Amino acid sequence: MAATLAEKLIQARNEGLKEAMSDFENMEHKLEFVKTIEGIDFINDSRSTNINSVWFALESMTKSTTWIMNIAQLESITDDLLDIINEKVKTIVIQGVYNSAIYDFFNGLHKKVIFSMSLEDAVRSAFYSSSAGEVILFSPGTVSAGAYRTYRERGEKFKDAVAQL
């Protein structure tokens, strides 16, 4: 009975998050369609600065996904996020400061994992790791943390990197 109740609470939480966050769709830097190149869609979700936002973004994907992210703390990865990663993500591009624990964790999920220091290299790596009919989602899961002044600046840099392909 407790397991059934827990499952219903999780489902209600997920549905509540979807409803609350759906107001952000089609806003700049929140699930913003950028461009399709060689059949690969690019989605800018720079506004996703926490795990719940990333979960929502990944849940919204309807195609095999290459996920560009910046999450640096294993403790922030929830079971719900793991479930959606296992279901929807083909490749993970970790962008930013190298963290072997994060790299090893995602590699252990039997996903292709790529590390890249710059956003430009991350976009390029994601593009060359993807195929027509797939999507590249930039959903960092963290605040800009000094690399960029705001998520807006970071989102603009993502769009610039896509334009350079």
CA atoms of 78 and 133, how far apart (whole Å) = 28
On whether the CB atoms of residues 162 and 155 are closer than 8 A, the answer is no
pTM higher than 0.75, yes or no? Answer: yes
Other beta carbons less than 10 A from residue 7's beta carbon: 10
Question: CATH for 26-163?
Answer: 3.90.190.20
CA atoms of 37 and 49, how far apart (whole Å) = 26
Task: Report DSSP state, residue 88.
Answer: H
Tokens 């790299």 sit on residue: 103
pLDDT truncated to tens, each residue of the chain (165 aa)?
555 545 544 554 555 555 444 444 557 889 999 999 999 999 999 999 999 999 999 999 999 999 999 988 888 899 999 999 999 999 999 998 778 899 999 999 999 999 999 999 999 999 999 999 999 999 999 987 678 889 999 999 999 999 999
Torsions phi, psi of 140, nearest 5?
Answer: -65, -35
Tokens 């890249």 sit on residue: 116
Question: Domain locations in the chain?
Answer: 26-163
